[in-house]
Chain A
Amino acid sequence: MQNIEILIIGKHPDIMKTILRLLNNKTGWNGTAAFAADEAIEKGNTILFDVVLLGAGLTDIESKQIQAHYKIPVVQHYGGGSGLLYAEIYQALNIQP
């Protein structure tokens, strides 16, 4: 079974580190981080993502660029890697834990 590939984009390095750790702790999930819209779009050239999370610090323009580029679920991530992260992904992909 293939991993679920998750792209998270945000500006806060320490929070991004936490989110990546939480994603990669989950069996069958693989998290990739990007810190700007250009980088997020470029990462999509080499990894087939299943879902994109928009983290804190992105400008409206960056968020819209990413939403326009990806034809997969692109959801706003709230809370900074804490209790909402997994539920956001389950809901975006319509899967159960």
Chain B
Amino acid sequence: MAQTIFHPAASRGKADLGWLKSYHTFSFGGYYNPERMHFGALRVLNDDTVDGGEGFGEHPHDNMEIISIPLKGGLKHHDSMDNVAVINDGDIQVMSAGTGIFHEEHNDDQHEAVQFLQIWVYPNVLNVEPRYDQLTLNKDDRHNKLQQILSPKPDDDGVWIYQNAWFNLGSFDKGLNTEYKLNAEGNGVYVFVINGSIKVDGQVLNTRDGFGIWDTDKFNIEIFEDAEFLLMEVPMSF
């Protein structure tokens, strides 16, 4: 029988630095809750809003798979491998931090806030050579179907990371249903509702709610209201 955990949006940790407002699903920075450390290999799910003209100055990362998904606006990235890029709503960015990388990220607009999800997944191999990639996704490919945006395989759809993980985005109309079949035994799925209302395994999920489900090989998603959601399939043991 499937096991589940529900994280209502309002139960997330919150950081407000003025220029940055961030909701943390799992312990991060000044938010510490020993009951909210990770979901399997998924360690960080931050829901960030950065004011116009603001951003994160240069800072390091290592040994982590870092995925950024802009929801509104654009985010400018510059790293120690000399990658300079802007990712916009509709793009996905990935960094394998490996042995170490420095980067900075700023709102690409001087006035309008940028909203994005920053997701960290524990890698399945340590100390790899750092790498950066980004991809523009076709939003039509997720209308009333699931769009794979990340996998462990460089030749598969979406970006890839050093972990046995698969991410899918969906944008569904009210009244529809869809099924998700897990790719690997021992994996679980963390469902994050970007907006709208859905039901998974008897649990109604609204905007920014999170829901983990594991010990199952598939589950059904009912769309209560027009909804956009992210499915993050990750190993539960790693």
Instruction: Determine the residue in chain B with the shortest Cβ distance to A90.
Output: B32
Q: Mark B131-143, 1 if CB is under 8 A from A, else 0.
A: 0000000000000
Instruction: Determine the residue in chain B with the shortest Cβ distance to A54.
Output: B126
CB of B203 within 8 Å of the partner chain: no
Instruction: Determine the residue in chain B with the shortest Cβ distance to A55.
Output: B62
B179 to chain A, nearest CB (A): 33
For B127, the chain A residues whose CB sits under 8 A away are 56-58
Q: Cβ of A84 and Cβ of B60 under 8 Å apart?
A: no
Which of under 10, 10 to 19, 20 to 34, or 35 or more describes the interface residues of B? 20 to 34
**Inter-chain CB contacts under 8 Å: number:** 77
For B30, the chain A residues whose CB sits under 8 A away are 86, 97
Within 8 A of B (CB), among A35-65: 55-58
CA distance A1 to B176 in the complex (A): 60
Q: Mark A82-96, 1 if CB is under 8 A from B, else 0.
A: 111011001100001
CB of A29 within 8 Å of the partner chain: no
CB of B37 within 8 Å of the partner chain: yes
For B63, the chain A residues whose CB sits under 8 A away are 56, 76-80
Q: Cβ of A97 and Cβ of B32 under 8 Å apart?
A: yes
Which of under 10, 10 to 19, 20 to 34, or 35 or more describes the interface residues of A? 20 to 34
A61 to chain B, nearest CB (A): 13
Q: Cβ of A15 and Cβ of B28 under 8 Å apart?
A: no
Q: Which of A57, A78, A79, A96 contacts B32 (CB 8 A)?
A: A96
A9 to chain B, nearest CB (A): 13
Instruction: Determine the residue in chain A with the shortest Cβ distance to B44.
Output: A83
For A11, the chain B residues whose CB sits under 8 A away are 99
B62 to chain A, nearest CB (A): 4
For A18, the chain B residues whose CB sits under 8 A away are 59-60
> Which A residues are closer than 8 A to B by beta carbons?
10-12, 14-15, 18, 55-58, 76-84, 86-87, 90-91, 96-97
